[in-house]
A and B are shown apart, each in its own frame.
Chain A
Amino acid sequence: MAGGRTLKLAAIGTAAGVFSGLFGVGGGVVIVPLLILWFSFDERRATGTSLAAIVIIAAVAVILQALYGNVHVLDGVLVGVPAVAGVLAGTWLQQRVPVEAISLLFALLMVVIAAHLVLG
C-alpha cells in the first residue's frame, strides 16, 4: 500500500515535471487535481503541497534550461522578485475583491492570448 502511494506520487512528479520543463510553469495544473483525486486532499492542502513540490521541480527545470542556455537571468530576477510582493498582495486582496469576476475576466484573457499564440 505504501508502495502504491509512492508510485502515485512518482506519477504526479513525472507528469508535473514534463509540464514544468515543457511549458515553463510549476506544474500545479496537474499536481493539484491529482492530489485531490488520488489522495482526497482538500483544495488548500493540495495547493500548499503543490507549491512545496514546485519549488523543487522548477529549481531542477531552470537548472536544466540554463544548461541549454535559454535562461535570461536578469529578466528572471526582475520578474521573480516583484512577483513575490505581488503574490503576497494578491492573497491579501483575495479576501477583499470579487474574485469570481476577476477569475472569469482572466479566463477570457487567457483564451485571447491562446488565440494570439495559435493565430499570430
Chain B
Amino acid sequence: MIEAAALGLAAGLVAGMLGVGGGILFVPALTLGVGLSQLDAEATSLLAVVPVALVGAWRQERYGNVAIRDAAVIGALSGLGVLAGVALANALPTRALKIGFAGLLLVTAFQLTRHAIGSLREKRTLREKRSRLERRA
C-alpha cells in the first residue's frame, strides 16, 4: 500500500518535471512496483491519470494555456478511439500488449531526448550571443 503511494508520488514528480503524462510512468510503476499484470496496470493507471491531468489542466488554464473549446471537442470525439483501444487491449495477448507499450516507451524516450538536446542547444546559443554582446560592450 505504502509502495503504491510512494511510486505515485515519484511518478508524479517526474511527470511534472519532464512534462510527460503520468500514464507512461504509472504503468511500469504498477507492474514492476505493485505487481499488477500489464492489462490491469494499464487500466488502473487511467484512474490515476484523471486527477493528475485535471490539476495540470487547471494550473495551465490560469496561465491562459488551454484552448478549452478545442480540448472539449477532442475529448468529446475520442469515444470511438477509446472504445477500440480498450477492446483491443482486452483482446490482445499480454505479449503483444507489452511489446506495444515498449514501443510507446521508446517513442517517448526519443521525444524526451530530442527535446533535451534542443533545449541544450538553445541555451548554448543564448550564452554565445550574450558573450558576444558583452565583448562588444
Contacts and interface: CB of A to CB of B under 8 A. Distances in A.
Q: Do A and B bind each other?
A: yes
Nearest to A94: B17
A10 interface: yes
Contacts of A81: 5, 8, 51
Interface string A64-100: 1110101111111111111111111111111001011
A16 B76 CA distance: 12
B49 A75 contact: no
B90 interface: yes
Interface in A1-54: 6, 9-10, 12-29, 31, 35, 39, 41, 44-45, 47-54
Interface string B89-121: 110000001111111111111111101110110
Interface of B: 1, 4-24, 26-30, 32, 34, 36, 39-57, 59-61, 63, 65-68, 70-90, 97-113, 115-117, 119-120
Interface residues of A, number: 89
Interface of A: 6, 9-10, 12-29, 31, 35, 39, 41, 44-45, 47-62, 64-66, 68, 70-94, 97, 99-104, 106-108, 110-111, 113-115, 117-118
Nearest to A26: B21
* Interface of chain A: mostly helix, strand, loop or mixed: helix
A110 B74 contact: no
The 3 tightest CB contacts between A and B, nearest first, are: A90-B16, A86-B12, A21-B85
